Amino acid sequence: CAVPVIAIDGPTASGKGTVAQRVANALGWAVLDSGALYRLTALACIDQGVAPDDESGAAKIAAGLDVRFVDGCIFMAGQDVTEAIRAENVGLFASQIAALGRVREALLGRQRAFRQLPGLVADGRDMGTVVFPDAPLKVFLVADVHARAQRRCKQLIEKGFPANLADLTRDLEARDARDQSRANAPLAAAPDAVTLDSSQLSIEETVNAVLDLWSNRG
């Protein structure tokens, strides 16, 4: 019988990452932060001077990523890049290369390799639609843009990055538009996904809602 997957998709800063990690902890499952793979590819492209529209250059970098995920830290070519990949410019670059079909293809097998017993919680944009279409639970996690901009602002400030609410709101809207309108694996709820709006929910309430959906799945 297939290894169970809980797919959590949704727009930028909807809280997917934190919720996925806590659901995985509660169940004792592995977690996949698929956005980190796009961010790592972006960071390597920036470092190596590959332009965001250079599909073959970016795909080559994606295919050759030397990455290790260790206890919540991310290492690329032996360097700790856990914080560096969270910078806004890396996120924006990531959303540009994520529109390139060959980059997505290069990262597909790497994402599926995270599927292991006793289960996987995977967060991203296309976990339920493309990467794990057979996931027994698919959650589409949304929150209004103002709630998301405020959360992102707080996160960045806590991490010591500069942040401005108006700029963040504009960037989130631009990134949402790009993720939703691209031809390859656009951000969309799978037909069998449950939509959960976390605008008015705390992290705990959102985590509990996902765990309830898992316990009560048909």
The residue written with tokens 């339920």 in the block is 128
When asked if residue 35 is in the footprint of ligand C5P (CB under 6 A), the reply is: yes
Residue 175 vs 214, nearer CB to ligand C5P: 175
126: contact with ligand C5P by CB under 6 A: yes
The answer to whether 206 contacts ligand C5P (rule: CB under 6 A) is no
> What does 127-187 look like in DSSP terms, one character per residue?
IIIII-TT-SEEEEEE--HHHHHHHHHHHHHHTT----HHHHHHHHHHHHHHHHH-SSS-S
Identity of the amino acid at 120: L
The residue among 180 and 199 lying less far from ligand C5P, judged by its C-beta, is: 180
> What kind and span of H or E run contains 48?
helix 34-48
Q: Which of positions 85-104 make contact with ligand C5P (CB under 6 A)?
A: 91, 94-95, 98
Residue 105: strand, helix, or coil: helix
Cβ-contact 137, 193 below 8 angstroms = no
Under rule CB under 6 A, residue 175 binds ligand C5P: yes
Q: Name the minimum Å distance from CB 1 to ligand C5P.
A: 25
The one among 81, 124, 152, 153 contacting ligand C5P by CB under 6 A: 124
Tokens read off for 61: 């970098």
Binding residues for ATP are: 10-18
- Contacting positions for ligand C5P (CB under 6 A): 12, 34-35, 38-39, 91, 94-95, 98, 124-126, 175, 179
